[in-house]
């Protein structure tokens, strides 16, 4: 039986019921820095399947909304976080057995942000929290569905973008110290960088960072407070440092 429609673009005698049905979801990976470590925003599922397990915020796309609208809504409903303007599509995941309920294709989104703010679980999420990315990558925190793979892909994207697209400043505030900036590279790349070499690389060419003439608040250990900088225009062209190779002197072996 042919499905009738008033849409003039529909080909004659076209029957959509001849094709298998599947659902579309959106999943949102939010990465941020906390205590010099890279964290991901996760929710604990309050409903089946995988009830009680940690997962990426997300859910089913409604028929009348775009993918971007669905990602914004799900993120806000499940975590209370509003970072819609920073979301970019990461990729699509459609293995037929990724969801035990039915054939579900998900569109993953990614955002690297400076501060998540107050996280409040809502909708079908029983809890929402920032979890160290290392716990997910090492399997210490097990995720529902194929969300561990999505997080791995998101981290790998950020690792590449850190060098090619200069997104390091997305993780710091409007003003920052060079130590705070270096901590971003170390957390994302999982490598210790020599502080002196990092400073020379960032300051070797003008346009990467601009001195503000101000200094950070004094630390608990005393000493002269670090100088504060703001991002220059050069970050649009890449980054002043490169991923350290095994024989790179910038890498400090543990």
Which segments within the chain are labelled E, that is strand? 23-34, 37-45, 54-55, 58-60, 88-93, 104-113, 125-132, 209-215, 227-231
Token pair of 200 as six digits = 């020379």
| Alpha carbons 190 and 250: distance in angstroms, whole number | 13
| Alpha carbons 68 and 241: distance in angstroms, whole number | 33
**Do the beta carbons of residue 171 and residue 32 sit within 8 Å?**
yes
DSSP label at 47? S
Give the active site residue among 18, 77, 78, 127.
127
| Alpha carbons 79 and 56: distance in angstroms, whole number | 10
- H or E element that contains 189: helix 178-189
Other beta carbons within 10 angstroms of residue 10's beta carbon come to 13
Which segments within 70-216 are labelled E, that is strand? 88-93, 104-113, 125-132, 209-215
DSSP label at 48? S
**Do the beta carbons of residue 149 and residue 63 sit within 8 Å?**
no
CA 138 to chain CA mean position, Å: 17
127 is catalytic: yes
Q: What is the CA radius of gyration of the chain?
A: 22
> Which residues are designated catalytic?
127
């Amino acid at each position: 039986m042919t499905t009738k429609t008033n849409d003039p673009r529909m080909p004659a005698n076209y029957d959509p019921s001849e094709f298998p049905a599947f659902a579309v979801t959106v999943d949102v990976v939010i990465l941020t820095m906390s205590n010099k470590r890279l964290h991901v925003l996760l929710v604990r599922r309050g409903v089946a399947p995988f009830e009680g397990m940690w997962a990426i915020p997300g859910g089913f796309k409604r028929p009348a909304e775009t993918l971007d609208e669905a990602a914004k809504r799900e993120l806000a409903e499940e975590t209370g976080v509003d970072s819609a303007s920073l979301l970019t599509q990461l990729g699509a995941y459609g293995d037929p057995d990724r969801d035990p309920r039915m054939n579900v294709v998900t569109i993953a989104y990614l955002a690297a942000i400076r501060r998540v703010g107050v996280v409040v679980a809502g909708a079908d999420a029983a809890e929402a929290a920032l979890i160290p990315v290392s716990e997910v990558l090492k399997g210490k925190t097990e995720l529902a569905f194929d969300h561990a793979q999505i997080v791995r892909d998101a981290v790998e994207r950020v690792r590449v973008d850190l060098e090619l697209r200069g997104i390091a400043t997305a993780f710091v505030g409007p003003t920052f110290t060079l130590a705070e900036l270096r901590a971003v590279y170390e957390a994302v790349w999982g490598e210790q960088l020599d502080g002196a070499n990092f400073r020379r690389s960032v300051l070797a060419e003008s346009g990467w960072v601009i001195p503000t003439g101000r200094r950070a608040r004094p630390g608990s250990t005393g000493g002269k407070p670090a100088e504060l900088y703001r991002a220059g225009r050069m970050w649009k062209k890449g980054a002043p440092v490169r991923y350290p190779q095994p024989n790179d002197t910038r890498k400090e072996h543990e």
